[in-house]
Amino acid sequence: MDTPDKDILTTTDVAKILGVSVRTAQLLIEGGSIPSWKTPGGHRRVYRSDVLALVPGEGASALAVSARVIVIAGPASLSALTARLASAPSCFVDAYPEPFSALLNIGGRSPAAVVIDAASLPMASDLLRALASDPALSQTAILLVGPKAATATFAVTSGGRVVFIEDLDTLAAATEAAVRGPVAVAVAAEAGSLVPLPGNEAQRLLALERSGLVDTPPEDAFDRLTWLAAQTLGMPISLITLLTPTRQWFKSRHGLDMADTPRSWAFCNHTILQQRCMVAEDLSADERFADNPAVVDAPHFRFYAGCPIIDPDGFTLGSLCVIDTQPRKLDETQQAILTNLASLVSDEIKLRVTDGRLRRAMDVLDRKSR
């Protein structure tokens, strides 16, 4: 008998328990965040206990909701710490030489982790106490860099929440674990192993779903930026791409008729794995792309350069890219131009997310006042 207390749930049941859309529940299930199996009829089923593990108050969340990492250290050691985190591919790092601007940046959006260099911050104890006592940061990992013997007193200050990092070689792995969440998630893509995937792909797909951008009409705010990228860099094609589980969809396109491609065609699969501009000067000579249908057949693309676009929580949703049918090069100034234009796309997305949250908060207040 089908009852609310049943142990085996459908996708719709999962959506109701988590308070999300059926589409979001599908992403969680298909992405592996909730273990599942298929019935003989091809329908997904999951165990109630696996769903409750994602519910706050029912157990540790298996899915991190932020990819942001805040690094706070003195000027002398800040660059060394951020360099170490370059090998943590799922992390979006914001670095600060003092705590006050870092705390302002954290604001209402809790980061996945805060990395603190105790040796270079005279106010480290006060900073730890503030972070540990903030309920909004209860799911944020606190990573304290320095010899444990010299920083043991901080364990009391922070309520025992500190993870001590004595060996800098372990910093990237500890931070990556904080961003991915306590359960490692494997995601199967339509193109299988031919498509490289970020370590936090399931979280990234949920962030894309939350953005509400996919399959929306063209907008001047984005179209102006693709036009500007094409004109400034002298490229025939410029795109703002968003990578769904199966598609590369173009939020804005200049010089290209098609609205999307299969995910397996996307050069941007490689761009979202990093935090900097990616350039392929001759796609036909690059082993990653030489067999790509868009390179082998019409439109015979030969050049690609793309920079990731980031949402407010640090997840890479897609890219701003430029493409040519001839091999090309981009000098440092041109790469800086593309990087800054991509940052403007990210800023536009952040403004929309903030505006949406503000509108929802105002709606809630308006309903309560009635």
CATH code, 41: 1.10.1660.10
The residue ranges of DSSP E strands in the chain, in sequence order, are 8-9, 37-38, 44-47, 68-72, 92-96, 113-117, 141-145, 162-165, 237-243, 247-254, 260-262, 278-280, 303-310, 316-324
**Do 156 and 137 contact (CB within 8 A), yes or no?**
no
Higher-confidence position of 162 and 21: 162
Same structural domain, 320 and 227: yes
Within-domain flag for 57: no
Task: State residue 189's pLDDT score.
Answer: 41
Residue-range definition of the domain harbouring residue 172: 68-180
Residue 202 identity? A
Tokens of 141: 């990992």
Tokens of 275: 């935090």
Task: State residue 286's pLDDT score.
Answer: 95
Tell me the longest C-alpha to C-alpha distance in the chain: 66
Same structural domain, 150 and 225: no
Within-domain flag for 80: yes
Same structural domain, 25 and 151: no
Within-domain flag for 58: no
Higher-confidence position of 135 and 114: 114
Task: State residue 190's pLDDT score.
Answer: 39
Higher-confidence position of 149 and 37: 37
d(CA 280, CA 1): 57
pLDDT at 68 over 70: yes
Q: Report, as an integer, the average pLDDT of 274-282.
A: 93
Q: List CB contacts of 48: < 8 A, sequence separation 6 or more.
A: 6, 7, 8, 9, 17
- Average pLDDT of the chain is 83
Task: State residue 36's pLDDT score.
Answer: 86
Task: Give residue-wise pLDDT tens across range 358-370.
Answer: 776 777 677 777 6
Same structural domain, 173 and 137: yes
Question: Which domain CATH number covers 254?
Answer: 3.30.450.40
Q: Report the domain count for the chain.
A: 3
Within-domain flag for 187: no
Stated pTM of the model: 0.77
